[in-house]
Amino acid sequence: MNVILKLASLGIKLLKANDFETWVLSLEVMGESLYKDEVFALQFRFEPQYPISSPEVVFVNDEVYRVPIHPHVYSNGHICASILGNEWSPVLSVTAVCITLQSMLASCTEKERPPDNDRYVRSAPKSPKNTRFHYDGELLPTV
């Protein structure tokens, strides 16, 4: 309970966690940033192997929530972040992932889509876990 209250002050709220398969959290960037007053939703999907295997994390795109415009976030909600891919660690909690993505948004200097957004979204696998992203700062996903 303490954790939930603490998170609310950080701009992270649990919207849905009815089972151990899919959780949805809302996320906003506190303080001054390009995303001031915007609220996003993150969907986590956990495989039975979680936390040994990473969760599938995407930004929700529905009637209520929009995918943030960010150079590491594709318009289909897929996120290019190393901690969700080859730098996953089983000690990373849902909170830690949320805070990392929050800081990714907070440090954004220009609201734009990844340069290869259209090409990626056209042929992207359903789960970003099946995308082999390159995390060297360049955005060159190989589908």
Partner 1 sequence: MKVTVKSWHAIAQWRWDTGQSGDDAEGEEDVCGICRVPYEACCPSCKMPGDDCPLMWGECTHVFHMHCIIKWLGTQASKQQCPMDRRPWVTASQRKGASNNNNANPNANPNGAVPNANA
Alpha-carbon distance of 39 to 42, in angstroms, equals 10
CB of 59 to partner 1, least distance (A): 23
CB of 91 to partner 1, least distance (A): 4
Alpha-carbon distance of 91 to 45, in angstroms, equals 17
The site for partner 1 (CB under 8 A) is made up of: 2, 51-54, 86-91, 93
CB 27 within 8 A of CB 101: yes
Between 3 and 30, CB nearer to partner 1 = 3
Largest CA distance in the chain: 43
Q: Which of 80, 83, 84, 98 is catalytic?
A: 80
CB of 95 to partner 1, least distance (A): 11
Between 51 and 71, CB nearer to partner 1 = 51
Between 2 and 123, CB nearer to partner 1 = 2
CB of 93 to partner 1, least distance (A): 8
Annotation marks residue 108 as catalytic: no
Question: Which residues in 111-134 are b (16+ Cβ under 10 Å) and which e?
Answer: eebbeebeebeeebeeebbebebe
Evaluate the CA torsion angle 7, 8, 11, 17 in order and state its sign.
positive
Structure tokens at 74: 């594709």
Between 76 and 95, CB nearer to partner 1 = 95
Positions annotated as catalytic residues are 80
